[in-house]
Copies of this chain bind each other. A is one copy, B any other.
Amino acid sequence: MSIENRLNELGITLPEAAAPVASYVPVVVTGGFAHVSGQLPFVDGVLVKGRLGDDVELVEGMDAARACGLMILAQLKNAGVLDNVERVVKLGAFVNSTPEFTAQPKVANGASDLMLEVFGDAGRHARAAVSAPSLPLGAAVEVDAIVALAS
């Protein structure tokens, strides 16, 4: 089954692939890998802003991370490689959080669980989840990815 069919089956609609907010490209495909730029959480076209531990609740943060994951999929689709994903290799999750907030892994699960849902075993990835004192445009979460492609 194609990943697009799998997304339909799950009732998941991908967002429009967001244009980069600066001088870079969303995806680079080379050497059997796709490197996906850090994606921000857009829900219905609106950026999820704020800080975990302050004005963003855990469940909102998880939803924001899932939105970043959906944008990663949208970027892979836009780059024409969504159906070539052999393995999700690595997610890097940056969580806008206060110094007291320590549940970055739970937040990042929003993106990680999406990859498992969509790709099954091929979605089982390595990950680093850390905090940042602020993120581009005030975003609550940013997630980048490395994906291995079938040749």
Please give the residue numbers on chain A whose beta carbons come within 8 Å of chain B beta carbons, in ascending order: 20-28, 30-33, 35-38, 51, 86-87, 89-92, 94, 97-106, 108-109, 112-113, 116, 124-138, 142, 144, 146, 148
Q: How far is the CA of A67 from the CA of B38 in the complex (A)?
A: 22
A100 to B138, CA, bound (A): 8
Query: Is B101 touching A38 in the complex (CB atoms < 8 A)?
Result: no
A100's nearest neighbour on chain B, judged by CB, is B134
Cα distance A127–B40 when bound, in Å?
12
Which B-chain residue is minimally distant from A51 (CB atoms)?
Answer: B99
Answer whether A148 and B26 are a contact pair too, CB < 8 Å, given A104-B135, A128-B37, A132-B130.
no
Main secondary structure of the interface of A (DSSP, over half): mixed
Q: Flag if A89 contacts B35 (CB, 8 Å).
A: yes
In the assembled complex, which residues on chain B have CB atoms less than 8 Å from the CB atom of A126? 24-28, 35-37, 144
Contacts of A127 in B (CB 8 A): 20, 22, 24, 37-38
Please measure, in the bound complex, the distance between the C-alpha atom of A144 and the C-alpha atom of B125, giving whole angstroms. Answer: 13
